[in-house]
């Protein structure tokens, strides 16, 4: 065949009609050919005999062959997998539709192994509930939102430290027979038979993954680093309320750096900051960031800021970003404070707790302003773009929003006792 694409072999029959393809297949089950479209030259179709009929699929190639989500090294593998899937879905359609209606997930396996672990964590974490009361004399904004704070606290308190986490499912090819850990049924196909959570290792059918609860319990063996790791994933893997980097760095800064001039504004030596990052990635909570190793406190503040910048999802999440910016634009101070509080309640619990702890710390920094010359506004300038980034990577949006980012952090610091 002339002009045959280099990635197709003898199965390619050039520009022919559906009827010609049907005739060439000769009614043989499992037989297949490839043809180029008569109406759309350069577009290719897989014609496959199954169930006494010819099925036609639009065929694509981007280095691998595919008609849907699965990608294959060869057309032969694609057809083999397709025939397996067609056979299973045809012969067991009713059974497949009922697979997720009576799962084993709640009774055995992964869920059972987690239950005791989760209950231990919950009992431990509930010792530090969200603030349920706010009193502060001669503060008009406090009077206005105190009941709102209490109501929100009562609503969210039960699950505040029960850090729900969705599974990070990715398509996976299993070697040898494998069974779904949600419905206990066989995972069929030649490749990409199901999905695996890259954080905890749970293996399920793709259709079952939609029904699995948000109860991912990350396995430390799968978490390769501390920096650049999703915040909720990290705290669940290490069974902590906040990322260890935040706790350890803040503890070190408060022990010896609160009076340091230009704290957080002055940059430390970049190479040493990278050393601290590598120490946390390598040694975790055993990382040594004491004055003996890093006498310049600006290295520690730099490492903490770098941790926040490296988060794949910022502390103030992409989902809440625009709501915080909108709140910052409200001119009335009391209404603005109430709006900020309402958006805070939308943050994932691990992000909320991390932000709360950081704001308490930054408030302490401002209380030493006479020595360090860092007030809430200055810290807002430093931490605004560090804690919140627009969902779209737009320089114009970032520049336009900078003053609102600064204002949000300034409000959080000045009103941490009210808002958290």
Cα–Cα distances in angstroms (integers) from residue 413 to residues 111, 159, 278, 363, in the given order: 40, 25, 30, 6
Predicted local distance difference test score (pLDDT) of residue 155: 39
Q: How far is CA 168 from the centre of its chain?
A: 7
pLDDT tens across 222-235, in order?
888 899 999 999 99
**What does the domain layout of the chain look like in residue ranges?**
12-97, 169-217, 223-419
Predicted local distance difference test score (pLDDT) of residue 93: 81
- pLDDT over 50 at 136, yes or no: no
And the tokens for 259? 């009076």
Which 3 state secondary structure label does DSSP give 230? Answer: coil
Backbone dihedral angles phi then psi of residue 298, each to the nearest 5 degrees: -65, -20
CA distance 119 to 97: 33
pTM of this prediction exceeds 0.75: no
**Mean confidence (pLDDT) of the chain:** 85
pLDDT tens across 248-293, in order?
999 999 999 999 999 999 999 999 999 999 999 999 999 999 999 9
Assigned fold of 12-97 = SHC Adaptor Protein (3.30.505)
Predicted local distance difference test score (pLDDT) of residue 419: 93
CA distance 381 to 203: 45
- Of 1.10.555.10, 3.40.50.300, 2.40.50.140, 3.60.21.10, the CATH number of 223-419 is 1.10.555.10
Name which residue leads in pLDDT, 34 or 107. 34
Closest CA to 79 of 53, 46, 37, 52: 46
Closest CA to 192 of 172, 207, 175: 172
Span 169-217 CATH architecture? 2-Layer Sandwich (3.30)
């Amino acid at each position: 065949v002339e002009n045959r694409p280099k990635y197709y072999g003898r199965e390619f029959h050039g520009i022919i009609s559906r009827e010609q393809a049907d005739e060439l297949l000769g009614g043989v089950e499992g037989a297949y050919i490839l043809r180029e479209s008569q109406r759309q030259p350069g577009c290719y179709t897989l014609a496959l005999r199954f169930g006494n009929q010819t099925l036609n699929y639009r065929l694509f190639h981007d280095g691998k062959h595919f008609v849907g989500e699965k990608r294959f090294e060869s057309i032969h593998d694609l057809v083999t997998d397709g025939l397996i899937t067609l056979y299973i879905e045809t012969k067991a359609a009713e059974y497949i539709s009922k697979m997720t209606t009576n799962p084993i997930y709640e009774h055995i396996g992964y869920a059972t192994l987690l239950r005791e672990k989760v209950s231990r964590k919950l009992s431990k974490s509930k010792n530090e509930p969200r603030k349920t009361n706010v009193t502060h004399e001669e503060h008009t904004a406090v009077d206005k939102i105190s009941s709102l704070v209490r109501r929100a606290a009562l609503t969210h308190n039960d699950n505040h430290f029960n850090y729900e986490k969705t599974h990070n499912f990715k398509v996976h090819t299993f070697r040898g027979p494998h069974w779904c850990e949600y419905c206990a049924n066989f995972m069929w196909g030649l490749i990409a038979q199901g999905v695996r959570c890259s954080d905890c290792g749970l293996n399920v059918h793709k259709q079952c993954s939609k029904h699995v609860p948000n109860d991912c319990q990350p396995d430390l063996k799968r978490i390769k680093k501390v920096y650049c790791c999703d915040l909720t994933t990290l705290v669940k893997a290490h069974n902590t309320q906040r990322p260890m980097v935040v706790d350890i760095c803040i503890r070190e800064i408060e022990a010896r750096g609160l009076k340091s001039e230009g704290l957080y504004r002055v940059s430390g030596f970049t190479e040493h900051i990278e050393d601290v990052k590598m120490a946390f990635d390598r040694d975790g909570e055993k990382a040594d960031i004491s004055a003996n190793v890093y006498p310049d406190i600006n290295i520690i503040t730099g490492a903490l800021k770098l941790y926040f910048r490296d988060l794949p999802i910022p502390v103030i999440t992409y989902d809440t970003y625009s709501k915080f910016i909108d709140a910052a634009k409200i001119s009335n101070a009391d209404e603005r404070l109430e709006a900020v509080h309402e958006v805070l309640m939308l943050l994932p619990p691990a992000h909320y707790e991390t932000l709360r702890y950081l704001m308490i710390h930054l408030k302490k920094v401002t209380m030493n302003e006479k020595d360090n010359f860092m007030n809430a506004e200055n810290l807002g300038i430093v931490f605004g773009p560090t804690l919140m980034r627009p969902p779209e990577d737009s320089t114009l949006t970032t520049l336009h929003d900078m003053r609102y980012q600064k204002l949000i952090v300034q409000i959080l610091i000045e009103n941490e006792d009210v808002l958290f």
